Amino acid sequence: MTTADTMTAHPSDIVPVERAADVHCVRVAKTFAGGTVALREVRLHCPPGEITVLLGPSGCGKTTLLRCIAGLETPTGGSIRIGDRDVTQTDPRKRGVAMVFQNYGLYPNKTAHDNIEYPLRLARVPKGERRDRVARVAGLLQIDHLLDRKPAQLSGGQRQRVGIGRALVREPAVLLMDEPLSSLDAELRVSMRTEIRALQRKLGTTMVYVTHDQTEALALADQLVVLRDGRIEHSGNPEQVFGSPATTFVAGFLGAMNLLDAQPLGLAPGTIGIRPEDLLAGETPGALTLHGPVIDTDLTGTERIVHFRCGQQTVRIRLRADDPVPEHITAHALPDRIHRFDSEGNRTEARP
C-alpha cells in the first residue's frame, strides 16, 4: 500500500468534522529506530482557517512533524489533537485530514477525473455525489477541461492541481502539504503559491504547509514556524519572525542577515545582525560604520549583493545593479536597523 493509499478514505472512515479545525501538538517527540531524534517535545498550535508554514533546512523535523499530524508516523511522546479529538493513535484515514505530496501521488493509468474521484469511490460515496464533488473541485481549480487526460499528458502545474483536487474532494478539516511546489520551475512556483493562498482563503480550510523555501514561506504563512534540529526555534506571524528574529539561526536562515562579532567592532560582547538591505553607503553621525575592500559581487537582477571585508569578517550590502562598485566600501547602519544577540545567540532588546 502506498503512502497516498494510506491517506485515502474507506467506507467506515468518514468522520464528520468541521470545515476548519485547529491542530494542537503537545510535547510531540519522535525518535526513529536506530536512535535518530527527529522531534524534541514540539509544542504547536495551528489556528483554524489559517495557513501554518513549517520552515527549516533539511533534517530539521518539519516533514516528520507533518507526517505525525497526518498519522503516517506515530510520535514516541506527546499528543496531537485535531479539533476536539485526540488523534495521536487514530488511523490516518479517520483524522479528517488530507495530504498533498511532493511527487503528486497520482495513479498514471487513471485520468485526472478518476484520480480526483478515487477517494470517494473507496468511501462508496454515491455516483451522483461523486460526480458533483469532482466537478465542483475541478471547477475551483480550473482543470475541468483536463479531466479526461492522464498524468503523462499534463504539465507539472496541472498535475499538482489534480493532486490538490484529490485531497480537496474529501472536504478535509485540515489540509497538509509537503513541499508541493518543489518540483516546479521558478515562474510556475510563484503563480501556484498565489493560487494556493487564494484557494485557502476561499475555502477557509486549515492548512499546514512544509517548505524549505523562505520566499514561499513568507508569501503563504499566516503563522510561520521555523524549526531547527527537531525543535521550534521561532514562531509567529511572518512580519514578526522576519523583523525580530528570536535567534541568530533564524536571522541567518530567514533573509541571510549579516551576523557579526560585536567585540571586533568595539561593542559589547555578543553578535550584531544587519540585513544587507539595511546597510547604506557612506557615513552618518550616530550610525555604526563598516568599511573595507570589496571581495565579490552577485548580480541578482535589478540589484547587486556586494561582499566586502571588515576586519576579519565578511559583510554583504545590497546595492542597485547600475550603481558603480568601488574597490573599497564604507557603509553604515542606523541604530534602529541593528539586531542584537547575546553570546548564546538569543535576541536581546539592547542596541549597540
Please give the pLDDT value at position 12. 34
Residues 17 and 103 in one domain: yes
What span, in angstroms and rounded, lies between the C-alpha atoms of 310 and 264?
9
> What range does the domain containing 239 cover?
3-248
Spatial strand order in the sheet of 231-236 = 97-100, 174-178, 206-211, 51-55, 223-228, 231-236
Residues 76 and 152 in one domain: yes
Q: Which of 97-101, 310-314, 330-334 has the lowest mean pLDDT?
A: 97-101
Q: Which of 285, 282, 275, 267 is nearest to 323 (CA)?
A: 282
Residues 173 and 150 in one domain: yes
Alpha carbon distances (Å) from 33 to 36, 66, 67, 93, 223: 7, 19, 16, 24, 32
Share of the chain residues as helix, strand and coil, in percent rounded to the nearest 5: 30, 30, 40
Count of domains forming the chain: 2
Report pLDDT digits (tens) over 69-79. 999 999 999 99
- Where residue 182 sits, what CATH number does that domain have? 3.40.50.300
Mean pLDDT of the chain: 90
Asked if the model's pLDDT at residue 15 lies above 90, the reply is: no
Q: Domain boundary residue among 226, 248, 270?
A: 248
How large is the average pLDDT for residues 126-147? Answer: 92
Residues 197 and 314 in one domain: no
Q: At what angle do helices 156-168 and 186-203 cross, to 10 degrees?
A: 20
C-alpha grid cell for residue 82? 485535531
Residues 244 and 260 in one domain: no
Asked if the model's pLDDT at residue 18 lies above 50, the reply is: no
Q: Which of 311, 220, 308, 297 is nearest to 263 (CA)?
A: 311
How large is the average pLDDT for residues 47-71? Answer: 96
Report pLDDT digits (tens) over 181-227. 887 888 888 888 888 898 899 889 999 999 999 999 999 999 999 99
Residues 234 and 217 in one domain: yes
Please give the pLDDT value at position 185. 83
Q: Angle at the Cα of 179 (from 48 to 44), degrees rounded to 5? A: 35
- Torsion, Cα 143 144 149 153, to 10 degrees, reads -20
Strands 77-82 and 97-100: unpaired
Residues 278 and 313 in one domain: yes
Cell 512556483 locates to: 189
Q: Domain boundary residue among 248, 274, 291?
A: 248
What span, in angstroms and rounded, lies between the C-alpha atoms of 196 and 108?
24
How large is the average pLDDT for residues 293-307? Answer: 95
Asked if the model's pLDDT at residue 6 lies above 80, the reply is: no
Beta bridge partners of 231: 228
Q: Which of 74, 79, 39, 42 is nearest to 59 (CA)?
A: 39
C-alpha grid cell for residue 305? 549583493
